[in-house]
Structure 1
Amino acid sequence: MAHGFLDLIKQKFGEGHYDGDQYGGAAGRDGSGLPTGAPNNFMFATGIECSYPTIDQGRTRRDQLAECFHYERFKEDLALVKELGLKVLRYGLPYYSIHRGPGKYDWEFADAAMHEMKRLGITPILDLLHFGVPDWIGNFQNPELPVHFAEYAGAVARRYPWVRYYTPINEIYVTAKLSARDGVWNEQLKTSRGFVTCLKHCVAASIMANQQIAKHRPDCIIVQSESAEFVHQLCANPNDQYKLDNKLRFLALDLLYAHHPDADVLNFLYDNGLTRPEYEWFMAGEPPGYQIMGNDYYGRNEWIILPDGTRQTSMDVLGWYNITKEYYERYRKPVMHTETNVFDASEAPGWLWKQWVNILRMREDGVPVLGFTWYSLIDQVDWDIALGEKIGKVNACGLFDLDRNPRPVAEAYKMLLKEYGQITIVPHGELFEVTKQPATLKVEV
């Protein structure tokens, strides 16, 4: 009696679950189970909120590590990361207090925290500047910032040679906007020239810091966390300023990744203090290292401007997927969702799952998405007013409250991790992994 090949296979080897399937053949892995930290694993992360801008014309420092009691409870906080099953943590050392002057550093807290992270097997994405600078530098209008900050980045890379992932400067566009155009932090200016000055100094500082890191870690991976924003103006004749704003949101990454902006933006830059030699320097090429484009998305990143000029948050009209897809098509970089949360603890689990749907859809499009971050581990203070006044209102956006008790979103994240914790960076892309090969140095300075 004739048999087809499948009948013969079943007779010889059975109905399935063949030897070797456990290594990825046939059905392979479904991606479930807690993260393992393998090089091709998707990076699930959280972050510890570490902003430290000044307000009151420099008289008051808003240090979220202090206000959320991390300095006293850092071991407990890092243990919570481990307990959740997470392998990756966006972590910011307090630049303003470590860098005491040219060539002078206070490493006491940094050493203790980094030692504990290494002991627990947590991979830090080390955030070197988060919305503030040391008092002796002044603010972001200081043209010496790139030189001083590069020195600091090199010192960090030398001191912690086991660290590979860095965010040199967090949210450069937001730093410039709130410091020099909205007048909330640091220099508290409200001018276009101040905005351009702050932004160009930050991008230059990020590039030079990246250079110094690459000298010590040629295989460095740079996760450039940047806010994914959009303004919807509901007006029959849209205002030119809002049109420009929707172009300026790309400006930090344009300069960082040597992407020529359009004529409107270039004229804006030249009108507000960027020189032709400076522009040519930015356009010379990308910084060294493996560059990952991190996009932070909160529903409050999207704004609707009503016909009467009223401004309100849109909460997810386009969403992370649509906005980030626009950034991806512009820069063609591997992507990471580097920040998200909501201030209402009861809505947080639903928001987490909505963000995850966005991630899955991006993956289905074949975009290499390397990771996702719920930001932050612990509740924050006064972020509903962007730290503009020291009121002390707790924002219930953490996986844990300030007493380190879990919020509902912590359980939701645990469920997500158990279901998806071992998925690969690209679906079915077992060969796409973070290698240990050094990246090519692309910019000569």
Structure 2
Amino acid sequence: MNFLSHIKKHFGDGNYAGDEFGGGSGHNGSGLPSGSPSNFMFATGIECSYPTIQNGKVRRDQLRECGHYDRYKEDIGLVKEMGLKVLRYGLPYYSIHQGPGKFDWEFADLAMAEIKRQGITPILDLMHFGVPDWLGNYQNPELPVHFADYCAAVAERYPWVRYYTPVNEIYVTARHSAKDGLWNEQLKDDKAFVTALKHTVAASIMGTQQIAQRRNDLIIIQSESAEYIHEVCASPTAEINLHNELRFLSLDLLYAHAPIADVTLYLLDNGMTREEYKWFMAGQPPGYQVMGNDYYGRNEKIKLPDGQEFNSMDVLGWYQITKEYYNRYHKPVMHTETNVFEADDAPMWLWKQWINLMRMRRDGTPVLGFTWYSLIDQIDWDSGLAELNNRVNACGLYDLDRKPRPVAAAYQALLKEFGQITIVPYGQLLEVTDQPARIKVEI
């Protein structure tokens, strides 16, 4: 008899004792998330944007418009019902921070207590496209100082929170407010854009410093838009080339990554001083830093020779665009936002995003999590909140009546198949600990 015959005679033909602990029949990562620290982070978010429009006369508040203030317990319960353990959650900064040293925690305390009671891990979003009325807008140079005070107050009030997004989509915040003229200051010039950008990046940095003083093992998941304009032109224009470089600018300043020369000159030509530039380049914020990339099909655009511009969906897709960001910053990655406005198309879009993400993991890029954004439908995002149309965007896992959309079943199927995969292979060995982040230099 050969050796296999002896093995089969003594131990059987496969499915050996001990395989259940790994080996030939080990766990494949299927099943709903268990909440283990080594689990990949499957998440959703509750849309919480609150910019002003109409020259400051109207405050958009998606928490109010989508009914969350009245139904927060129900909404948080839906997160748990989905089988999710992680929630991107934004407190209404504009209404909480009522003046220097003055805070109204009434709603925040209720919502945060419910999140904690349900055993959900929040990624706490501290500024989402707007500021309190008393701060004016993103042209205010005092914003970083006042926002840092707010971050300190939040960290002290909710010391059990470890994950934060200090300023959501810094680039989009500055661009829509000061270059595209949609929100807040509603300006349309380069100097206003650079001013808004440096103030929001500085706010994120100083806010992170304050949180780190109170929670030195903090994890920052910086959510930033991943986008690109494809110019179908034999001689690409300087304008589009610059646009495709400026999309990196918020993270360049945040992570002390020197921009290319053209962008540096653009900054200096539009109001950034050499002293300010040196301050941004001095070093990175504290804490464990995760680069979150938000990707919607409408993030990619095609510009034709005649100047027409169209949404192109996924020409490159999340994988190719995020790979550019990863190769630039070498940070762990999270897919922090995605959706489509057409409910029937959402399940396939979900699976396409997941395939992008799995390919990224297979190619060796550390991807820590995935987010369908948002839990419930949104209002007027087809106009970027710039128009008060009260039009429902059917992009949620649930509609505004809290009835599941088709993508909810697709996400649950995805969770049942992949919900217990680990952040990295053999992630059980590398569980998130409560040790403070001390590594300052990438090796």
TM-score by length of 1: 0.97
2:95 match: 97
Q: Which is further off, 28-37 or 65-74?
A: 28-37
- In structure 1, stretches of 5+ residues that fail to align are none
2:402 match: 404
Residues 280-299 of structure 1 mapped to structure 2, 5 A cutoff: 280-299=278-297
Query: For the residues of structure 2 that align with 1:229 and 1:432, how far apart are their CA atoms?
Result: 32
8 Å CA contact retained: 1:44, 1:86: yes
Residues 15-414 of structure 1 mapped to structure 2, 5 A cutoff: 15-414=13-412
Give 1:51 shift: 0.1
The residue type paired with residue 305 of structure 1 is K
8 Å CA contact retained: 1:54, 1:61: yes
8 Å CA contact retained: 1:287, 1:442: no
**What is the percentage of aligned positions where both structures have the same residue?**
72
Q: 1:362 to 1:207 in 2, by over 3 A?
A: same
Matched, 1:421 2:419: yes
Q: 1:353 to 1:138 in 2, by over 3 A?
A: same
Give 1:83 shift: 0.3
**Helix, strand or coil at the partner of 2:153:** helix
Give 1:20 shift: 3.5
**Helix, strand or coil at the partner of 1:170:** coil
Instruction: Deviation per CA, 1:350-396: give whole Å up to 9, x if none.
Output: 10011011011101101110000000000000000000011100000
Query: For the residues of structure 2 that align with 1:15 and 1:437, how far apart are their CA atoms?
Result: 45
1:434 match: 432
The residue type paired with residue 17 of structure 1 is N
Instruction: Deviation per CA, 1:134-178: give whole Å up to 9, x if none.
Output: 000000000000000001001101100110000000000000110
**Helix, strand or coil at the partner of 1:76:** helix
The residue type paired with residue 169 of structure 2 is E
Q: 1:282 to 1:373 in 2, by over 3 A?
A: same
Query: For the residues of structure 2 that align with 1:340 and 1:397, how far apart are their CA atoms?
Result: 9
8 Å CA contact retained: 1:302, 1:317: yes
TM-score by length of 2: 0.97
Instruction: Deviation per CA, 1:293-320: give whole Å up to 9, x if none.
Output: 0000000000110111011100000000
Give 1:433 shift: 3.1
8 Å CA contact retained: 1:364, 1:427: no
8 Å CA contact retained: 1:227, 1:296: yes
How many residues are aligned here?
Answer: 441
Give 1:14 shift: 3.5
The residue type paired with residue 200 of structure 2 is C
**Helix, strand or coil at the partner of 1:300:** helix
**Helix, strand or coil at the partner of 2:422:** coil
The residue type paired with residue 327 of structure 1 is Y
Give 1:12 shift: 4.0
Query: For the residues of structure 1 that align with 2:416 and 2:114, how far apart are their CA atoms?
Result: 25
Task: Kindly report the root-mean-square deviation, in angstroms, between the aligned alpha carbons of the 2 structures.
Answer: 1.3
Query: For the residues of structure 2 that align with 1:116 and 1:429, how far apart are their CA atoms?
Result: 29
